[in-house]
Structure formats: C-alpha cells, structure tokens
Amino acid sequence: MTLSQVHVRKTDLTDAELVEVPTGELAEGAVRLRIESFSVTANNITYAVVGDGFRYWDFFPAPEGLGIVPMWGHAQVIESKCPEIAVGERVYGYLPMATHLDVVPGKINPGGFSDMTDYRQPMSPVYNSYTRLAADPEHDPARENERMIYGPLFKTGFIIDYFMRSEGWFGAKQVVLTSASSKTAMGLASCAKQASPGIKRIGLTSPGNVEFVRSTGLYDEVVAYDDLGTIAGEPTVSVDFAGNAKLLASIHQHFGEALKYSCLVGATHIEERGAGMGGAAGLPGPKPTLFFAPDHFVSFFKEHGPVEGGKLAAAAWHGFLNSVEGAVEIVTHKGLDAARTTFLEMVGGSVDPAKGIVIEP
C-alpha cells in the first residue's frame, strides 16, 4: 500500500510536489488513519512561514529540505493494533497534507487520545490531541466543513480574547484587528462581541475586503489600511494577524502611547512580513509581543480542566457559528493535488475571504 503526500520546499514555499510513499506495516499499538477531509486556510500558510521556528515542520517528517504542511481535519480509522480504538471510528485533529497517517494512541479516554509517536513529543500537546467524534461536544455532523475552516482559527481567537480579558484588556477601550477578513480575526471579534461588549472592535482590511468584513456584522467599525489615521486615538490594543512590518509600524506611530498592548499572531501577508513577526525594535509604544496560542491553551485547561474548559470553548464556538452563518461560501475540491494547488494559490496571495476551501484527498 502507498500513501500520497504533498512535500513543500522549506526555503521556497512556491515549490510543492505531490509524491507517493510506501506505508509499511502498521506498528504494534498504532492505528492507521485515512484522511477524509481538511481545510486549507491562511493558518496553514503561517505554519509554513514560521515552520522551523515553531517546529511545525516536525509533526510530519519529510525528506531533508522538504516539509509537510499540517492541516486540521477529519479522519477514519482503517486499521488498528490498539485494542481501545476500533476500525471505523472517526476523529478530528492535526493531520498532514496527505491521504493517510499512522498514530500511536495514548492517554485514551472516551473523548479523545494523544499521539504518542516519539518524534511528536517535543511539540505542544495541543497539536498531538485527537478528538473522538462520537463523544465530542463540538461536533455537529452538519457543520464538519465549518469546523475545519473556522475551528482552529476560531480557537486562536477564543484564547486571545480570554487572555485579553484576564488582563483587563490592558486598560484599553478598543481593539484594532489587522487582516480583519481572516478567519482568526473573525473568531476573536466574535468572542470579544460575546464576552467583552464594552470593547469597541475595529477591523483593518484591504479596500477590496471592506464590504465583506462589514457584512459579517462582527465589527463596530471597519477601516481600510490606508485610512488607519482616521481611527480615534483612544487607549487601544492591537492584534496583528497580517505580519506586515510597515502596517505594524503605522499602527504604533498612529497610536503612540495610547497603544497599551501590541499582539502579534499570524502572517497572512507573507510577502511583506519582514520584521512583522519579530520584535520590530524602535517603534513607539509597547514592544510587540508574539502570541503562541498552544501555550495559552495549556494554561487555560490547567485553570478550568478539560471538561469545563471544553464547555466554555464549545459555547463560544456555537455562538460564533451562528454569527457567521452564510458569510463564507464553502467550496469542496477532490484529490490531494487540489490541496497542493490551493496552498500555492494562497502562498501567492490569491485568497478570497468569502470562500472556505475544503479538500477531500
């Protein structure tokens, strides 16, 4: 038996190739997953852009100089040498851009398990966890596509909102979100709308996306990048999803000391990321701080426990789904090569925020 994978050259993300790889015999205690579906979003581009620094390339090994971009999606057990996991069971979690994946389940409970494969252990446990759909409070069979498209990005927005609330929003009255059309920004805006209604939500976006961002109803104000100077200079926190160094500098220069916290999250503008993902030294106001969501989730679940924490996240998730109903057209493509093509289009900046791409490899 062979499986298909998409290998991406780490030093040139525009170089991606579909390859066939022999699977070999399944190890004792392992299960083999057939990947049913996953989404391709700007989040996956960020995984590739910062892959070495945050070890995203290490989850699914590839030949030297190449990497497999992680995806979020659904899979079915097609072979099992783990007595607690049955053939036919479906799971949701972190998957390679591929057709199959072998995992070694551990820490097994009715709700899920962790992949205990040795090379995955140095990385965050958040990415090694798989939920068993039969006992998953977030699972809705009618909304599996939405979960793949929005779910991981929403959770980043959820935990940013939780962090900001725990810090009293650093005394700010408003939050400015760059790349406001991105699904992570929309997730944060939804969570802030639900849990922090006193904080004004301002979305920054490209001129061509202004109407789409307004149509979501998630923001109190939507501003094109060139009109940044029209935003009131009140106490502000910024959350930068774009990774655009020039834009980040403009935000700091506009708000100055009124900027109470500068949060760096993603890199949707990879062609201009420059220092936008780093410290960007010399800017007025607070030093930009990189936000690594998995670490914050570990703290969140330590505080609330897996059951109560899961209920809090699920409640916010369902509220988000209701608020974005119909906002994005879901487009499904068949075949793994469609994932390669979609990834390359996104690397090239061809991303329509009004569409969500699902791949069925």
The per-residue pLDDT for range 153-174, each reduced to its tens digit, is 888 899 999 999 999 999 999 9
What is the DSSP-derived secondary structure letter of residue 230?
G
Distinct helix (H) and strand (E) counts, the chain: 8, 18
* Residue 21 near residue 340, CB atoms below 8 Å: no
Q: In what order do the strands lie in the sheet with 259-264?
A: 221-224, 200-205, 174-177, 236-240, 259-264, 289-290
Query: Whose CA is closest to 130, among 154, 110, 112?
Result: 112
Query: Any idea which residue has 């061809």 for tokens?
Result: 350
Residue 41 has a pLDDT of 83
pLDDT bucket at 281, cuts 50 / 70 / 90: low
Q: In this model, does residue 279 exceed pLDDT 60?
A: no
- 2-136+328-360 is classed in which CATH architecture? Alpha-Beta Complex (3.90)
Can you give the residue ranges of every domain in the chain?
Answer: 2-136+328-360, 153-294
Q: In this model, does residue 2 exceed pLDDT 60?
A: yes
Alpha carbons 148 and 266: distance in angstroms, whole number? 18
User: What are the Cα distances from residue 214, in Å, to 41, 221, 324?
Assistant: 21, 8, 12
pLDDT average, residue stretch 266-288: 59
Residue 269 has a pLDDT of 41
Beta strand pairing status for 112-115 and 105-109?
Answer: antiparallel
Mean pLDDT in the chain? 90
Alpha carbons 8 and 227: distance in angstroms, whole number? 37
For the stretch 225-242, pLDDT in tens is 999 999 999 999 999 988
- Give the number of other CB atoms < 10 A from CB of residue 269: 23
- Give the number of other CB atoms < 10 A from CB of residue 12: 10
Residue 139 has a pLDDT of 86
Query: Whose CA is closest to 8, among 340, 350, 351?
Result: 340
Coil/strand/helix, residue 345: helix
Residue 103 has a pLDDT of 98
pLDDT average, residue stretch 120-126: 88
For the stretch 185-218, pLDDT in tens is 999 999 999 999 999 999 999 999 999 999 989 9
Residue 243 has a pLDDT of 79
Residue 117 has a pLDDT of 96
Residue 342 has a pLDDT of 93
Q: Identify the CATH number of the domain defined by range 153-294.
A: 3.40.50.720
pLDDT bucket at 16, cuts 50 / 70 / 90: very high
To which H or E segment does residue 179 belong?
none
Query: Any idea which residue has 């993603």 for tokens?
Result: 266
Q: In this model, does residue 86 exceed pLDDT 60?
A: yes
Percent above pLDDT 70 for the chain: 95
For the stretch 103-112, pLDDT in tens is 999 999 999 9
Higher per-residue confidence, 18 vs 317: 18
Q: In this model, does residue 349 exceed pLDDT 80?
A: no
For the stretch 327-340, pLDDT in tens is 778 999 999 999 99
The total number of residues shown for the chain amounts to 361
Residue 270 has a pLDDT of 40
Alpha carbons 98 and 92: distance in angstroms, whole number? 15
Percent above pLDDT 90 for the chain: 64
* Residue 264 near residue 275, CB atoms below 8 Å: no
pLDDT bucket at 351, cuts 50 / 70 / 90: low
pLDDT bucket at 272, cuts 50 / 70 / 90: very low
pLDDT bucket at 314, cuts 50 / 70 / 90: confident
Q: In this model, does residue 31 exceed pLDDT 80?
A: yes
Q: In this model, does residue 276 exceed pLDDT 50?
A: no
